[in-house]
Amino acid sequence: MSIRRLDRKSGQVSTEAPIMSTLASLKGPSWVHESPFLTEGWENRSKAGSPSLKHSAMRKTLSDQRNLTPQLFANVPWRIASYLWDCLGKSRKQTVYMWKLFATAYPIDFRGINQYRSMKIEGPKMSMRDYLGLVKSDSLSWGVALTLANLFARVPELVDIASIKNLVALEIITLSQIATIPEETDAAGATLSDRIVRTWSELAQTSAAFSHLRVLRLYNQEDLSKVALRYMDAFPSLRLIIAHDCPHFTSLVKHGPIELDGWEVSTISQPKKSNEDPSEPDTLYECYKTSLMDIETQDQPTLRDTPILDFQVGQINPTRRKKQSTVYLERKKNADSTQEPATKKQKLASTAAKKPKTKGPVMKDRKAKDLRCLLQDFL
Protein backbone atom coordinates (compact mmCIF):
# COMPACT_ATOMS: atom_id res chain seq x y z
CA MET A 1 0.00 0.00 0.00
CA SER A 2 1.42 3.40 -1.01
CA ILE A 3 1.77 6.27 1.49
CA ARG A 4 1.81 9.96 0.55
CA ARG A 5 4.10 12.22 2.55
CA LEU A 6 4.28 16.03 2.69
CA ASP A 7 7.47 17.93 3.43
CA ARG A 8 6.17 21.10 5.14
CA LYS A 9 9.42 22.99 4.70
CA SER A 10 9.73 22.56 0.94
CA GLY A 11 6.10 21.83 0.11
CA GLN A 12 7.06 18.72 -1.88
CA VAL A 13 4.71 15.74 -1.91
CA SER A 14 6.17 12.24 -2.28
CA THR A 15 4.68 8.77 -2.47
CA GLU A 16 6.27 5.76 -0.79
CA ALA A 17 5.35 2.24 -1.86
CA PRO A 18 6.88 -1.09 -0.83
CA ILE A 19 8.56 -3.01 -3.64
CA MET A 20 8.29 -6.77 -3.46
CA SER A 21 11.38 -8.75 -4.35
CA THR A 22 10.99 -10.58 -7.64
CA LEU A 23 11.43 -14.31 -8.00
CA ALA A 24 14.52 -13.69 -10.12
CA SER A 25 16.19 -11.71 -7.33
CA LEU A 26 15.21 -14.22 -4.63
CA LYS A 27 16.05 -17.48 -6.40
CA GLY A 28 18.14 -16.37 -9.35
CA PRO A 29 16.83 -16.34 -12.95
CA SER A 30 17.89 -19.94 -13.56
CA TRP A 31 15.76 -21.29 -10.72
CA VAL A 32 12.41 -19.56 -11.16
CA HIS A 33 11.03 -22.43 -13.27
CA GLU A 34 13.30 -25.27 -12.11
CA SER A 35 14.71 -26.48 -8.79
CA PRO A 36 18.48 -26.80 -8.20
CA PHE A 37 18.15 -29.44 -5.47
CA LEU A 38 18.64 -33.15 -6.00
CA THR A 39 15.53 -35.28 -5.51
CA GLU A 40 15.51 -37.45 -2.41
CA GLY A 41 15.12 -41.22 -2.70
CA TRP A 42 15.69 -41.56 -6.45
CA GLU A 43 18.52 -44.12 -6.21
CA ASN A 44 17.93 -47.86 -6.35
CA ARG A 45 20.40 -49.12 -3.79
CA SER A 46 20.42 -51.69 -1.06
CA LYS A 47 19.39 -50.56 2.41
CA ALA A 48 22.10 -52.73 3.93
CA GLY A 49 25.55 -51.18 4.23
CA SER A 50 26.75 -47.71 3.43
CA PRO A 51 26.94 -46.15 -0.07
CA SER A 52 30.21 -46.21 -1.96
CA LEU A 53 32.61 -43.27 -1.89
CA LYS A 54 31.83 -42.57 -5.55
CA HIS A 55 28.10 -42.47 -4.85
CA SER A 56 28.52 -40.22 -1.83
CA ALA A 57 30.72 -37.81 -3.81
CA MET A 58 28.11 -37.72 -6.58
CA ARG A 59 25.30 -36.89 -4.15
CA LYS A 60 27.35 -34.13 -2.54
CA THR A 61 28.32 -32.63 -5.90
CA LEU A 62 24.79 -32.62 -7.33
CA SER A 63 22.93 -31.76 -4.13
CA ASP A 64 22.76 -28.06 -5.06
CA GLN A 65 23.34 -27.10 -8.69
CA ARG A 66 23.67 -23.41 -7.83
CA ASN A 67 27.22 -24.08 -6.62
CA LEU A 68 28.36 -25.60 -9.92
CA THR A 69 30.13 -23.68 -12.69
CA PRO A 70 31.99 -24.75 -15.86
CA GLN A 71 35.29 -23.74 -14.22
CA LEU A 72 34.83 -26.38 -11.51
CA PHE A 73 34.80 -29.09 -14.20
CA ALA A 74 38.02 -27.93 -15.85
CA ASN A 75 40.02 -30.86 -14.42
CA VAL A 76 37.18 -33.40 -14.26
CA PRO A 77 37.55 -36.07 -16.98
CA TRP A 78 34.59 -36.72 -19.24
CA ARG A 79 34.23 -40.27 -17.91
CA ILE A 80 33.26 -38.91 -14.49
CA ALA A 81 31.21 -36.03 -15.92
CA SER A 82 29.24 -38.48 -18.06
CA TYR A 83 28.42 -40.48 -14.93
CA LEU A 84 27.15 -37.32 -13.22
CA TRP A 85 24.97 -36.48 -16.22
CA ASP A 86 23.46 -39.97 -16.18
CA CYS A 87 22.67 -39.57 -12.48
CA LEU A 88 20.96 -36.27 -13.22
CA GLY A 89 18.86 -38.06 -15.81
CA LYS A 90 17.83 -40.82 -13.41
CA SER A 91 16.86 -38.26 -10.79
CA ARG A 92 15.05 -36.11 -13.41
CA LYS A 93 17.29 -33.16 -12.65
CA GLN A 94 18.85 -32.52 -16.04
CA THR A 95 17.99 -28.84 -15.80
CA VAL A 96 18.64 -26.27 -18.51
CA TYR A 97 21.33 -24.82 -16.25
CA MET A 98 23.22 -28.13 -16.16
CA TRP A 99 22.68 -28.67 -19.89
CA LYS A 100 24.34 -25.33 -20.60
CA LEU A 101 27.10 -26.07 -18.09
CA PHE A 102 27.99 -29.43 -19.67
CA ALA A 103 27.78 -28.00 -23.19
CA THR A 104 30.27 -25.30 -22.15
CA ALA A 105 32.64 -27.46 -20.09
CA TYR A 106 32.69 -30.37 -22.58
CA PRO A 107 32.05 -28.84 -26.03
CA ILE A 108 33.21 -31.93 -27.94
CA ASP A 109 32.09 -34.86 -25.79
CA PHE A 110 28.70 -33.54 -24.72
CA ARG A 111 27.42 -32.88 -28.22
CA GLY A 112 27.74 -36.61 -28.88
CA ILE A 113 25.05 -37.49 -26.31
CA ASN A 114 22.77 -34.45 -26.12
CA GLN A 115 22.60 -31.94 -28.99
CA TYR A 116 19.10 -30.62 -28.35
CA ARG A 117 17.26 -29.19 -25.36
CA SER A 118 13.82 -27.58 -25.32
CA MET A 119 12.22 -25.31 -22.72
CA LYS A 120 8.85 -23.56 -23.01
CA ILE A 121 7.88 -20.77 -20.62
CA GLU A 122 4.16 -20.35 -21.32
CA GLY A 123 3.54 -18.25 -18.21
CA PRO A 124 6.43 -15.78 -17.83
CA LYS A 125 7.32 -14.90 -14.23
CA MET A 126 10.27 -12.60 -14.95
CA SER A 127 11.06 -9.69 -17.21
CA MET A 128 12.04 -10.42 -20.79
CA ARG A 129 15.53 -9.10 -20.05
CA ASP A 130 16.00 -11.85 -17.43
CA TYR A 131 14.93 -14.51 -19.93
CA LEU A 132 17.29 -13.15 -22.58
CA GLY A 133 20.11 -13.41 -20.04
CA LEU A 134 19.40 -17.13 -19.65
CA VAL A 135 20.08 -17.92 -23.31
CA LYS A 136 23.38 -16.08 -23.80
CA SER A 137 26.63 -17.92 -24.38
CA ASP A 138 29.59 -15.66 -25.11
CA SER A 139 31.78 -18.75 -25.57
CA LEU A 140 29.48 -19.93 -28.42
CA SER A 141 29.55 -23.45 -26.96
CA TRP A 142 25.87 -23.84 -27.78
CA GLY A 143 23.31 -22.01 -29.90
CA VAL A 144 19.78 -20.87 -29.17
CA ALA A 145 16.62 -20.99 -31.28
CA LEU A 146 14.56 -18.27 -29.58
CA THR A 147 10.77 -17.91 -29.82
CA LEU A 148 9.29 -14.76 -28.28
CA ALA A 149 5.70 -13.68 -27.88
CA ASN A 150 6.38 -9.97 -28.03
CA LEU A 151 3.40 -9.27 -25.80
CA PHE A 152 5.98 -9.65 -23.03
CA ALA A 153 8.71 -7.51 -24.65
CA ARG A 154 9.30 -3.77 -24.70
CA VAL A 155 11.25 -1.94 -27.36
CA PRO A 156 14.55 -1.86 -25.38
CA GLU A 157 14.23 -5.61 -24.80
CA LEU A 158 13.64 -6.28 -28.49
CA VAL A 159 16.76 -4.24 -29.26
CA ASP A 160 18.67 -6.21 -26.60
CA ILE A 161 18.18 -9.39 -28.64
CA ALA A 162 21.20 -8.22 -30.62
CA SER A 163 23.42 -8.95 -27.59
CA ILE A 164 22.77 -12.71 -27.88
CA LYS A 165 25.91 -13.78 -29.73
CA ASN A 166 24.88 -17.44 -29.98
CA LEU A 167 21.48 -16.73 -31.59
CA VAL A 168 20.98 -19.04 -34.59
CA ALA A 169 17.21 -18.74 -35.15
CA LEU A 170 14.65 -16.14 -34.03
CA GLU A 171 10.85 -16.24 -34.02
CA ILE A 172 8.77 -13.22 -32.98
CA ILE A 173 5.01 -13.60 -32.54
CA THR A 174 2.57 -10.79 -31.87
CA LEU A 175 -0.38 -10.41 -29.52
CA SER A 176 -2.87 -12.15 -31.80
CA GLN A 177 -0.89 -15.38 -31.50
CA ILE A 178 -1.23 -15.61 -27.73
CA ALA A 179 -3.82 -18.05 -26.42
CA THR A 180 -4.07 -16.85 -22.83
CA ILE A 181 -2.56 -13.97 -20.89
CA PRO A 182 -1.74 -14.50 -17.20
CA GLU A 183 -3.45 -11.90 -15.03
CA GLU A 184 -0.27 -11.09 -13.14
CA THR A 185 1.67 -10.43 -16.35
CA ASP A 186 2.65 -6.85 -17.14
CA ALA A 187 1.97 -6.95 -20.87
CA ALA A 188 4.04 -4.56 -22.96
CA GLY A 189 3.22 -5.61 -26.52
CA ALA A 190 5.93 -3.82 -28.53
CA THR A 191 5.81 -4.67 -32.23
CA LEU A 192 8.76 -5.16 -34.53
CA SER A 193 9.37 -2.15 -36.77
CA ASP A 194 11.79 -0.92 -39.41
CA ARG A 195 13.38 1.28 -36.78
CA ILE A 196 14.23 -1.67 -34.53
CA VAL A 197 15.60 -3.68 -37.46
CA ARG A 198 17.70 -0.68 -38.50
CA THR A 199 19.17 -0.58 -34.99
CA TRP A 200 19.92 -4.29 -35.28
CA SER A 201 21.62 -3.61 -38.60
CA GLU A 202 23.81 -0.91 -37.07
CA LEU A 203 24.81 -3.25 -34.23
CA ALA A 204 25.58 -5.98 -36.76
CA GLN A 205 28.00 -3.66 -38.55
CA THR A 206 29.62 -2.15 -35.45
CA SER A 207 29.65 -4.99 -32.91
CA ALA A 208 29.16 -8.17 -34.99
CA ALA A 209 25.62 -8.77 -33.72
CA PHE A 210 23.55 -11.56 -35.35
CA SER A 211 26.71 -13.15 -36.75
CA HIS A 212 25.22 -16.65 -36.50
CA LEU A 213 21.52 -15.95 -37.13
CA ARG A 214 20.33 -18.17 -40.00
CA VAL A 215 16.53 -18.15 -39.72
CA LEU A 216 14.11 -15.32 -38.90
CA ARG A 217 10.42 -16.16 -38.52
CA LEU A 218 7.82 -13.41 -38.07
CA TYR A 219 4.11 -13.46 -37.25
CA ASN A 220 1.68 -10.61 -37.92
CA GLN A 221 4.26 -7.81 -38.07
CA GLU A 222 2.19 -5.00 -39.58
CA ASP A 223 4.79 -2.27 -38.95
CA LEU A 224 7.54 -4.07 -40.85
CA SER A 225 8.01 -2.99 -44.49
CA LYS A 226 10.19 -4.24 -47.31
CA VAL A 227 12.77 -1.59 -46.36
CA ALA A 228 13.71 -3.89 -43.48
CA LEU A 229 15.12 -6.37 -46.01
CA ARG A 230 17.98 -4.01 -46.79
CA TYR A 231 18.76 -3.67 -43.11
CA MET A 232 18.65 -7.45 -42.69
CA ASP A 233 21.26 -7.76 -45.40
CA ALA A 234 23.79 -6.78 -42.72
CA PHE A 235 23.23 -10.17 -41.03
CA PRO A 236 25.97 -12.25 -42.68
CA SER A 237 24.59 -15.73 -41.92
CA LEU A 238 20.87 -15.07 -42.47
CA ARG A 239 19.54 -17.47 -45.10
CA LEU A 240 15.77 -17.67 -44.61
CA ILE A 241 13.00 -15.25 -43.58
CA ILE A 242 9.49 -16.64 -43.06
CA ALA A 243 6.76 -14.00 -42.79
CA HIS A 244 3.28 -15.08 -41.65
CA ASP A 245 0.46 -12.53 -42.01
CA CYS A 246 2.89 -9.66 -42.60
CA PRO A 247 0.96 -7.46 -45.08
CA HIS A 248 3.97 -5.58 -46.50
CA PHE A 249 5.71 -8.86 -47.33
CA THR A 250 2.55 -10.51 -48.66
CA SER A 251 2.11 -7.68 -51.17
CA LEU A 252 5.48 -8.56 -52.73
CA VAL A 253 4.16 -11.80 -54.24
CA LYS A 254 0.83 -10.67 -55.68
CA HIS A 255 2.03 -11.45 -59.20
CA GLY A 256 4.18 -14.48 -58.39
CA PRO A 257 7.74 -15.08 -57.16
CA ILE A 258 10.19 -12.19 -57.49
CA GLU A 259 13.76 -11.25 -56.65
CA LEU A 260 14.32 -8.28 -54.37
CA ASP A 261 17.55 -6.90 -52.92
CA GLY A 262 19.31 -10.26 -53.09
CA TRP A 263 16.30 -12.25 -51.82
CA GLU A 264 14.14 -14.77 -53.68
CA VAL A 265 10.56 -14.08 -52.58
CA SER A 266 7.87 -16.75 -53.00
CA THR A 267 4.95 -18.47 -51.27
CA ILE A 268 6.42 -21.96 -51.65
CA SER A 269 8.58 -23.49 -48.93
CA GLN A 270 11.10 -26.27 -49.25
CA PRO A 271 9.46 -29.73 -49.49
CA LYS A 272 8.85 -31.67 -46.29
CA LYS A 273 9.69 -35.28 -45.61
CA SER A 274 7.09 -37.82 -46.72
CA ASN A 275 6.22 -38.85 -43.15
CA GLU A 276 5.45 -35.28 -42.01
CA ASP A 277 2.05 -33.61 -41.95
CA PRO A 278 2.09 -30.99 -44.76
CA SER A 279 -0.44 -28.82 -42.91
CA GLU A 280 1.65 -28.64 -39.75
CA PRO A 281 4.16 -25.76 -39.85
CA ASP A 282 7.80 -26.54 -39.23
CA THR A 283 9.09 -25.67 -35.81
CA LEU A 284 11.76 -23.01 -35.58
CA TYR A 285 14.36 -25.67 -34.80
CA GLU A 286 13.37 -27.68 -37.88
CA CYS A 287 13.67 -24.56 -40.03
CA TYR A 288 17.16 -24.01 -38.63
CA LYS A 289 18.23 -27.59 -39.39
CA THR A 290 16.93 -27.19 -42.93
CA SER A 291 19.02 -24.05 -43.38
CA LEU A 292 22.17 -26.08 -42.67
CA MET A 293 21.67 -28.38 -45.65
CA ASP A 294 23.61 -26.09 -48.00
CA ILE A 295 26.67 -25.84 -45.75
CA GLU A 296 29.83 -27.54 -46.92
CA THR A 297 30.98 -29.98 -44.24
CA GLN A 298 34.66 -29.31 -44.81
CA ASP A 299 34.16 -25.56 -44.34
CA GLN A 300 32.24 -25.67 -41.04
CA PRO A 301 32.44 -29.24 -39.73
CA THR A 302 31.07 -28.48 -36.25
CA LEU A 303 28.12 -26.22 -37.12
CA ARG A 304 25.73 -29.11 -37.76
CA ASP A 305 26.60 -30.72 -34.42
CA THR A 306 26.44 -27.61 -32.23
CA PRO A 307 24.07 -28.18 -29.27
CA ILE A 308 20.91 -26.11 -29.65
CA LEU A 309 18.65 -24.77 -26.90
CA ASP A 310 15.09 -24.37 -28.22
CA PHE A 311 13.72 -21.67 -25.91
CA GLN A 312 10.19 -20.23 -25.96
CA VAL A 313 8.72 -17.38 -23.88
CA GLY A 314 4.94 -16.95 -24.04
CA GLN A 315 2.03 -19.26 -24.82
CA ILE A 316 1.22 -19.76 -28.50
CA ASN A 317 -2.10 -20.88 -29.97
CA PRO A 318 -1.25 -23.80 -32.32
CA THR A 319 -4.61 -23.67 -34.16
CA ARG A 320 -4.08 -20.01 -35.07
CA ARG A 321 -0.67 -20.67 -36.60
CA LYS A 322 -2.13 -22.90 -39.34
CA LYS A 323 -4.28 -20.16 -40.91
CA GLN A 324 -2.05 -17.49 -42.33
CA SER A 325 -0.64 -16.20 -45.59
CA THR A 326 3.03 -17.08 -45.65
CA VAL A 327 5.88 -15.58 -47.63
CA TYR A 328 9.33 -17.20 -47.84
CA LEU A 329 12.40 -15.09 -48.52
CA GLU A 330 15.56 -17.03 -49.26
CA ARG A 331 18.90 -15.31 -49.72
CA LYS A 332 20.35 -15.87 -53.15
CA LYS A 333 23.70 -17.59 -53.24
CA ASN A 334 26.60 -15.21 -53.95
CA ALA A 335 24.20 -12.28 -53.90
CA ASP A 336 25.84 -8.90 -54.03
CA SER A 337 25.44 -6.80 -50.93
CA THR A 338 22.90 -4.00 -51.42
CA GLN A 339 22.67 -2.68 -47.90
CA GLU A 340 22.26 0.99 -47.23
CA PRO A 341 24.32 3.03 -44.83
CA ALA A 342 22.94 2.53 -41.35
CA THR A 343 22.28 6.19 -40.46
CA LYS A 344 22.50 9.62 -41.96
CA LYS A 345 25.42 10.34 -39.66
CA GLN A 346 27.37 7.49 -41.20
CA LYS A 347 26.53 8.84 -44.66
CA LEU A 348 27.80 12.28 -43.77
CA ALA A 349 30.89 10.84 -42.14
CA SER A 350 31.75 8.75 -45.20
CA THR A 351 31.25 11.61 -47.66
CA ALA A 352 33.21 13.97 -45.47
CA ALA A 353 36.10 11.52 -45.40
CA LYS A 354 36.21 11.41 -49.21
CA LYS A 355 36.28 15.19 -49.69
CA PRO A 356 39.76 16.73 -49.81
CA LYS A 357 40.48 19.01 -46.92
CA THR A 358 40.61 22.70 -47.84
CA LYS A 359 43.80 24.46 -46.88
CA GLY A 360 43.66 27.63 -44.78
CA PRO A 361 45.50 30.87 -45.56
CA VAL A 362 49.26 30.42 -45.67
CA MET A 363 51.79 33.25 -45.13
CA LYS A 364 54.13 33.76 -48.03
CA ASP A 365 57.77 32.94 -47.48
CA ARG A 366 59.61 36.24 -47.81
CA LYS A 367 63.38 36.30 -47.89
CA ALA A 368 64.77 38.45 -45.07
CA LYS A 369 67.34 41.13 -45.87
CA ASP A 370 70.92 40.69 -44.79
CA LEU A 371 71.81 42.81 -41.68
CA ARG A 372 74.85 44.41 -43.38
CA CYS A 373 72.74 45.63 -46.27
CA LEU A 374 70.26 47.13 -43.83
CA LEU A 375 73.00 49.10 -41.97
CA GLN A 376 74.47 50.46 -45.21
CA ASP A 377 71.17 52.22 -45.91
CA PHE A 378 71.69 54.38 -42.82
CA LEU A 379 75.42 55.12 -43.38
In the chain, where are the structural domains located?
1-44+59-114, 116-177+187-269+281-333
Q: What is the mean pLDDT of residues 6-11?
A: 73
pTM equals 0.77
Give the C-alpha separation, 157 to 155, whole Å. 5
pLDDT at 14: 74
Q: Please report which confidence band the pLDDT of residue 259 belongs to, taking 50, 70 and 90 as the band edges.
A: confident
Closest CA to 189 of 162, 151, 132, 226: 151
Q: Please report which confidence band the pLDDT of residue 334 belongs to, taking 50, 70 and 90 as the band edges.
A: low
Q: Which residue has the higher pLDDT, 83 or 303?
A: 83
CB atoms within 10 A of CB 361: 4
Q: Please report which confidence band the pLDDT of residue 18 belongs to, taking 50, 70 and 90 as the band edges.
A: low
Q: Please report which confidence band the pLDDT of residue 99 belongs to, taking 50, 70 and 90 as the band edges.
A: very high
Average pLDDT, the chain: 79
**Rama region for 41: left / alpha / beta (φ>0; ψ in -120 to 50; rest):** left
Q: 211 to each of 33, 232, 283, how far by Cα in Å?
A: 30, 12, 22
Q: Looking at the domain 116-177+187-269+281-333, which fold is it?
A: 3.80.10
Q: Please report which confidence band the pLDDT of residue 321 belongs to, taking 50, 70 and 90 as the band edges.
A: low
pLDDT at 342: 42
Give the C-alpha separation, 135 to 97, whole Å. 10
Which of 20-24, 205-209, 357-361 has the highest mean predicted lDDT (pLDDT)?
A: 205-209
Q: Is 104 helix (H, G, I), strand (E, B) or coil?
A: helix
CB atoms within 10 A of CB 77: 10
Confidence check: pLDDT of 323 > 70: no
Give the C-alpha separation, 293 to 6, whole Å. 68
User: What is the distance of C-alpha 200 from the center of its chain?
Assistant: 11
Q: Which residue has the higher pLDDT, 157 or 338?
A: 157
List 6's β-bridge partners, or say none: 13
Say which range, 23-37, 190-204, 264-278, has the weakest mean pLDDT. 264-278
User: What is the distance of C-alpha 276 from the center of its chain?
Assistant: 28
pLDDT at 52: 87
pLDDT at 318: 56
CB atoms within 10 A of CB 67: 10
Closest CA to 56 of 87, 86, 101, 97: 87
pLDDT at 9: 74
